[in-house]
Chains A and B, each alone.
Chain A
Amino acid sequence: MFEESISLSSGSTGAHVLAPEGEPIEFIYKGRKFHIHAIVSRWQESGGWWNRISDGKNHLAEENILDHFNDGARAIWRVEAAPEGALGTFEIELDEITKSWQIRPTSRPL
């Protein structure tokens, strides 16, 4: 499967995804606006917090203990989407910690 991670804007915002009620409905990919026609499936992933415990060298003095439990929670949608009438399949991922979005096409747009 072809996978490409893209981020339209640098920083923490990631890709531009429109999700007014938590579930994505539109996004911009390679400069074009895509409309989501159907959600094929969705799932949740998290875990591996023990690999992300900092070594203590760079941490801020006033760090909250709970910030250490970076459980890497992610919600993933596999969707059918089309730009201007064309249909394609993408995975849209919301990093629930940083609130940034990622988009991966799972097949080339028609």
Chain B
Amino acid sequence: MKTFTHLRVASGYSFKYGTAHARQLVERAAKFEMPALALTDIDNMAGAIRFAKSCEVNGIAPILGINLSFVQKKYRITLLAQGGQLASLYHLVTEINSNSSDGLLTYGLLERFSNYSKNILILHGPESQLAAAIASRKNLEALSIFNATRDLFADQALECVSHLTRGDGPFSTSHAARMLGFARDHQLPAVLTNAVRMLDRSDGPVADVLDAARKLVPLSSKSVNRQNSEAYFKASSEMSYLSDEISRLAGERDGKSLLNITADWAQRTILSPRKDVGIGGIHLPDAQSLGAKSQSELAAQLRSRCEAGLSRKYVGAKSVIAASRLEEELSAIRTLGYESYFLTVADITDLSRAKGIRVAARGSGAGSLICHVLGISGVEPITHGLLMERFCSPLRGELPDIDIDVESARRLEIYDAIFEKYGQSCATVSMVETYRSRHAIRDVGAALGISPMEIDLIAKSMPHIRSSNISKALANLPELRSLNLNTPILKIAIELAGRLDSLPRHLSMHPCAIVLADQGLRDYAPQQINASGYSMLQFDKDDVEAIGLLKLDVLGVRMQSAISYTLSEIERLEGAPLDIDAIALDDKKTFDLIKSTRTLGIFQIESPGQRELVGKFAPDTFADLIIDISLFRPGPVKSDMITPFLATRHGLRPRPKIHENLEYILNETEGVVVFHEQVIRIISTMTGVTLAEADEKRRLLGDIAGQQSIYDWFYPAALACGYTDVIVTEVWKILRAFASFGFCKAHAAAFALPTYQSSWLKTHHTAAFLAGVLTHEPGMYPKRVILDEARQWGIKIAPIDINLSDATFRVEKTTEIGRVPYTAPDVASSGKSLQLPDARGFAIRTALSEIDGIDSKEIGTIISGRPYLDLADFVYRSGASCPTTESLLMVGAFDDLHKLATSKINRRDLLLHLRDLYRLAGSKSSINQSQMTFELQPPKLEASGLPNMTASEQVKNEIDILGMDISNHMMEFYGDFLNKIGAVRSSDLIKYRSGTSVLVAGVKVALQTPPVRSGKRVMFLTIDDGFGCNDITFFEDKQADFAATLRNSWLFLVRGEIRRTGPRGISLLGVGAWELAISYEKWRNLTVYGANEA
């Protein structure tokens, strides 16, 4: 018996239809010893590369196709690429997706793109219009349908499918036989397929759930597609049996002829994973798009641009070192032929800067001098010991990957510029969303009609885990103990959710990747237009790497927007631009600010954990910042690399000495291995291999098998270089322990740059920087915490003013003096007092956009109508809605305009006046607004004698409308109480000894319960009291009493024990936490009661 080839197979990439992964289907074909296998997913080819890779591994010839709606939504046909002609199918799919909104193939499109379709094969299967005609015995109509597409395709066949359904409709043996008979009558080719959508018969229920989920209806005989479980991956013998049955019913002796033609068609459509699909290939940007005619012209262009950059950035002795390093790097790039990629990325960063958009490199690319001199990366690689080899070398089996960080608010402008310039040779990349536990349980629950409340409860408690772990996860969740998970229906639901595990669900756009290839990009991958209107490859980032497409990650970073905004505010206020990229990296005041741990708003080092670390570490240099960022990650924290490092840094422990040759590598991190670059240098130094070879060795250290192979090589190699047994053993211990936790120094250095820049801006232009943070919200803290941070540096917070506030937070110079700024006390243990910013004389004007419910159109009309003479004028001309106007009034936006501070009129009077104005406007609502100003005499504004709002009512309004307290810090109302009970201000905690028990109070900033190694829950509470933030840790023993309060309250009184962790490191060990208002009431009752007693 000959083996069968399945020409029609839907995998999980047929979203919410196919139940099997492409890999499983290929493995099943291998088990059945089938020579080839097709993948013909519905409406997309997103599985093509994974499928082809799997085929290559399993020694199976891949066939690629797609199943599409044709002429009408209800009819579907299958297209197959011919051997050597895959690009035609990709092009046609791209054209269909670019020229129709719903992926429907029409005769019109076929005629327009017949140059592609003429290389493609088409199967008229059981869902086709032709099959419908045959089912209703309209053979003449069937023939004319067949003839209509005859000239549009390379060849076409009838596809006979029997799923052994009852009766004689499509998918019955009788219909398959009639299709075959029709083909024989008209001498047309017919093939046999099983229209596979499942791996096994037992997958039927999974298919049913997917059908229900796709149609968004509960399971019923109407919502499911299948009548039985025959659409599974049948073996050759089963297909041969079917072929006999169908053929005999069509009047033939046996099924041999049908099987033979199927085998012929398989032969015609077989692809080579490498030659056709392009696995292992490479497609760099064209020389032409960069204005070069050849590769050698490109090389010359790269060289001259690099040399120009080099002479700008390096002088003196360093330029000699730099020049020789540049030669090395250029020769590596020459070997790899990557010139056009570097030039294209440099072109894109230039394009962005020309538009005034900030760009910074991230990742290992910062280790390359070429990236630095081309202006892609701002970090200087030689001084910081960064290595090109960590990023890209001729030995590396994978493509280099440059990531750039741009202003988040303007990221799409860069996309537009790239698409405008590079057109068809660039595209965005897709991302496959797969079923995870939450989605799986929701879809299954909805299909089975389980009560939404129960499903919601299970789904919400579900952490983001793989859905095959659901039952284990559920057993551990205390919230679900009340549900009986052992009822058959819930057991089935959980079982089914597990079977949906990791099936593709949806194709979406990768958030930041853009492929930069040559003009032939459409030959290499099918495309569609995504929701944002950009061309998107149907392949994801692993797929594009597999076929050698280089990509550029353009990441939106809010901090870059905040920095950009800060710079524009500085220029507006000072009248001169500031080049933040040119500032020196050794500013003492900047490091003083960092050491004070008052780092709120600064990139990377504002979190409670980082504030604790910079307090302990006290970084003094840019190099220290790089180390700080590298240390603050789960690996080093868990393996406790930080303690020995800090002990040596603070002189509590001698620096470990291993061998003098390694000192220059390890001294920068006090003998502890922190960076990948150090591992690379150690291996290279001790064995004599090049840095590029050493990096290859380093990469293998990540897993156990690799470690063994490196050990077997490293040990003799290092001995041969003259190192003693003892030293080699010790070094090996270090390499093994830290290699997997190490961090790429180039990446840390790239991050340290915006960290330093934002610190510098906060130090020297505090108000402008905090206005930038308030406007672009780059960090983790709510705005009211940032506002309070501003107050602490002496900045006035100006209320919304109808004639002054802008759409964003603006800085104003003011003569009103803010409060005395925070100063770091001169603490004996640190020995040095810190120089901290004094931002008195500046105010930050609250933005109009903070008004709850205001929209950008209203903001635009309000601003363009300025100045306003009074409230009535505003009501007539601003275009603001009634609720917006009332909100503006309530937060004091008209206070200055009506000089409330010096008149008898107060905000309540203004509110009454506003009501009068609206009553009047309402009665004349048919008249347009410009006429109203002329015709109407506004009602008079008078003092009604009502009392004005109290300070606390004002703050309450601000919190309700703006979400933050502008006029006063909320805690000020408790000032008297807190002083009387001896609560300590956060800024004063540093004066207390470790172990002291103190009371603190504040507003909740954050409550975090991160997973910790021991598995015990730790709750981290951060509160702000108007003098800074307190970080309090509550361990499990306290949680029983206080967890509910921690979760549900907003204002706290906390008792804690002080823990000193370094020169300026302070944290509190939580002992108790109470709702502040309740404590206050108790205290007041007590004092009143006590007074009566006396």
Q: In the bound complex, what is the Cα–Cα distance between A43 and B230 (angstroms)?
A: 10
For residue B416, give the distance in angstroms from its CB to the closest CB of chain A.
Answer: 49
The answer to whether the Cβ of B903 comes within 8 Å of any Cβ in the partner chain is no
11 residue pairs bridging A and B, Cβ less than 8 Å apart: A42-B164, A43-B166, A43-B167, A43-B172, A44-B230, A47-B227, A49-B208, A53-B488, A56-B489, A69-B205, A71-B205
Q: Which B476-515 residues sit within 8 Å CB-CB of chain A?
A: 486-489, 491-492, 495
CB contacts (< 8 Å) of B489 on chain A: these are 53, 56
Q: Mark B673-698, 1 if CB is under 8 A from A, else 0.
A: 00000000000000000000000000
Please give me the residue from chain A that is nearest to B173 by CB atom.
Answer: A41
Per-residue CB contact flags for chain A residues 68-105 toward chain B (1 = under 8 Å, else 0) read 11010100100000000000000000000000000000
Q: Which one of B63-71, B218-226, B810-818, B930-938 is at the interface?
A: B218-226
Contacts A53-B488, A54-B488, A65-B491 given: A47-B221 contact, CB under 8 Å? yes
A66 to B202, CA, bound (A): 10
> CB distance B174 to A45 under 8 Å?
no
Q: Does B165 contact A (CB under 8 A)?
A: yes
Q: Which residue of A lies closest to B218 (CB)?
A: A50
Whether B227 contacts A68 by the Cβ 8 Å rule is no
Of A41, A44, A49, A55, which is within 8 A of B205 by CB?
A49
Compute how far the CA of A59 lies from the CA of B201 in the bound complex, rounded to whole angstroms.
25
Cα–Cα, bound, A67→B163 (Å): 24
- A55 touching B488, Cβ below 8 Å: yes
Assess whether B997 is interfacial by the CB under 8 Å rule. no
Are B492 and A41 touching (Cβ within 8 A)?
Answer: no
B440 CB to nearest A CB, Å: 16
What mask results when residues 428 to 450 of chain B are scored 1 for a CB within 8 Å of chain A, else 0?
Answer: 00000000000000000001100
A46 contacts chain B at the CB level, 8 A cutoff: yes
Given A43-B172, A44-B228, A71-B229, A50 and B491 touching (CB < 8 A)?
no
In the assembled complex, B204 has its CB within 8 A of some CB on chain A = yes
Contact of A69 (CB < 8 Å), options: B163, B174, B224, B492: B492
Interface of chain A residues 3 through 61 with chain B (CB within 8 A): 41-50, 53-56, 59
**Does B229 lie within 8 Å of A44, measured CB to CB?**
yes
Top-8 shortest CB links A-B: A44-B228, A44-B164, A43-B166, A46-B228, A50-B219, A56-B487, A56-B488, A43-B164
Task: Given A44-B230, A54-B488, output 16 extra A-B contacts at Cβ < 8 Å.
Answer: A41-B173, A42-B173, A43-B228, A44-B164, A44-B228, A46-B204, A46-B226, A50-B447, A55-B488, A56-B487, A56-B489, A59-B488, A69-B202, A73-B228, A73-B229, A76-B166
Task: Return B428 CB to nearest CB of chain A, in Å.
Answer: 40
Chain B residues contacting A50 (CB-CB under 8 Å) are 205, 208, 219, 447-448
User: Which one of A41, A43, A56 has the highest number of Cβ atoms from chain B below 10 Å of its Cβ?
Assistant: A43
Query: Which residues of chain B are within 8 angstroms of A65 by Cβ–Cβ distance?
Result: 491-492, 495
Task: Given A50-B208, A69-B202, A71-B205, verify A45-B488 contact (CB < 8 Å).
Answer: no
Smallest CB separation, A26 vs chain B (Å): 21
Between A42, A47, A54, the greatest number of chain B beta carbons within 10 A of the residue's beta carbon is seen for A47
Residues of B within 8 A of A41 (CB): 173-174
CB-defined contacts of A59 to chain B, threshold 8 Å: 488
- In whole angstroms, what is the CA distance A48 to B166 when docked? 16
Give chain A residues whose Cβ lies under 8 Å from the Cβ of B448.
50, 53
- Residues of A with C-beta under 8 A to B204: 46-47, 49, 71
**Nearest-CB residue, chain B, relative to A76:** B166
Q: What separation, in Å, do the CA atoms of A69 and B202 have in the docked complex? A: 9
| CB <8 Å contact, A46 and B229 | yes
Shortest Cβ distance from residue B1024 to the other chain A in the assembled complex, whole angstroms: 52
User: What residues on B are CB-neighbors of A47 within 8 Å?
Assistant: 204, 208, 221, 224, 226-228
Within 8 A of A (CB), among B223-250: 224, 226-230
| CB 8 Å contact bits of B207-223 with A (1 = contact, 0 = none) | 01000000000010100
Bound CA span A55–B208, Å: 21
Cβ of B166 and Cβ of A68 under 8 Å apart? no
Q: With the chains together, A53 CA to B230 CA distance in Å?
A: 22
CB distance from B489 to the nearest CB of A (A): 5
Most chain-A Cβ atoms within 10 A of its Cβ — which of B224, B230, B489? B489
Contacts of A66 in B (CB 8 A): 202
Interface string of B156-187 (1 = CB under 8 A from A): 00000001111100001110000000000000
- Residues of B close to A71: CB separation below 8 A: 204-205, 229
Q: How distant is the Cα of A104 from the Cα of B419 in the complex, in angstroms?
A: 69
Give every chain B residue within 8 A of A54 (Cβ-Cβ): 488
A55 to chain B: closest residue by CB: B488
How many whole Å from B1053's CB to the nearest CB in chain A? 50
Residues of B contacting A68 in the complex (Cβ-Cβ under 8 angstroms): 488, 491-492, 495
B230 to chain A, nearest CB (A): 6
Report the minimal beta-carbon distance from A59 to chain B, rounded to whole angstroms.
6
Taken together as a complex, chains A and B put the C-alpha atoms of A42 and B939 apart, in Å, by 89
For the complex, give the distance between the alpha carbons of A4 and B473 in Å. 51
Residues of A within 8 A of B167 (CB): 43
Residues of chain A contacted by B488 (CB below 8 angstroms): 53-56, 59, 68
Give the distance in Å from the alpha carbon of A69 to the alpha carbon of B491 in the complex: 11
Contacts of B166 in A (CB 8 A): 43, 45, 76
Residue of A nearest to B226 (CB): A47
B413 to chain A, nearest CB (A): 51
